[in-house]
Amino acid sequence: MSRIGKKPITVPEGVTVTVGKDNVITVKGPKGELKQTIDRDIIVEVKDGEILINRPTDQIRHRAMHGLYRSLLSNMVKGVTEGFKAQMELVGVGFKAANTGNLLDLSLGYSHNILFEIPSELKVATLTEKGQNPKIILESIDKQLLGAVAAKIRSMRKPEPYKGKGVRFVGEVVRKKAGKSAGK
């Protein structure tokens, strides 16, 4: 049995979980509503304020999906109650970030600014304080979408290994390489 898959998910007060047709799980909470389609072989039961996920056999396919769907449902429950947050910083001279609504304007050392449309399910904020790197703060109830958007923003200028310049997550450690040594 999957160690992750067999752990029950506790459903907090104010959150409703329903299993619909074609194994579509709907989770409603104070912050919003999320839906996830589960494979038809995986059995999802909601009993006594807990969600239980079971698999029919020990096939490799069923074992792989057992823990996956438990994690996805756990993230949905946490998302509609607390929400998720990702903070990114722009390290580099002249790197800037600004937003108007859900349009993110990034100046990352290229000849033109990058305009990036943030999906409406996410909230974006930019923070520029004197003496500190500009920050981008993303908030959402959907962890998958939040991670995908944060990865897309990071891919626009990944941290390089010599000076560490680029877009990185707050607290991320970039391993630096030694440059060329000076002449003998």
pTM for this prediction? 0.89
Terminal CA-to-CA distance of the chain, rounded, Å?
A: 62
How far apart are the C-alpha atoms of 75 and 142, rounded to whole Å? Answer: 8
- Tokens linked to 80: 């509609």
Residue 136, Cβ density class (10 Å: 0-12 exposed, 13-18 middle, ≥19 buried)? buried
Could you list the pLDDT tens digit for every one of the 184 residues in the chain?
A: 568 888 999 999 999 999 998 889 999 999 999 999 999 999 999 999 899 999 999 999 998 899 999 999 999 999 999 999 999 999 999 999 999 999 999 999 999 999 999 999 999 999 999 999 999 999 999 999 999 999 999 999 999 999 999 999 999 999 999 888 755 5
List the one residue out of 176, 179, 171, 1 whose CA is nearest residue 86. Answer: 171
Number of Cβ atoms within 10 Å of the Cβ of 122: 18
DSSP label at 14? T
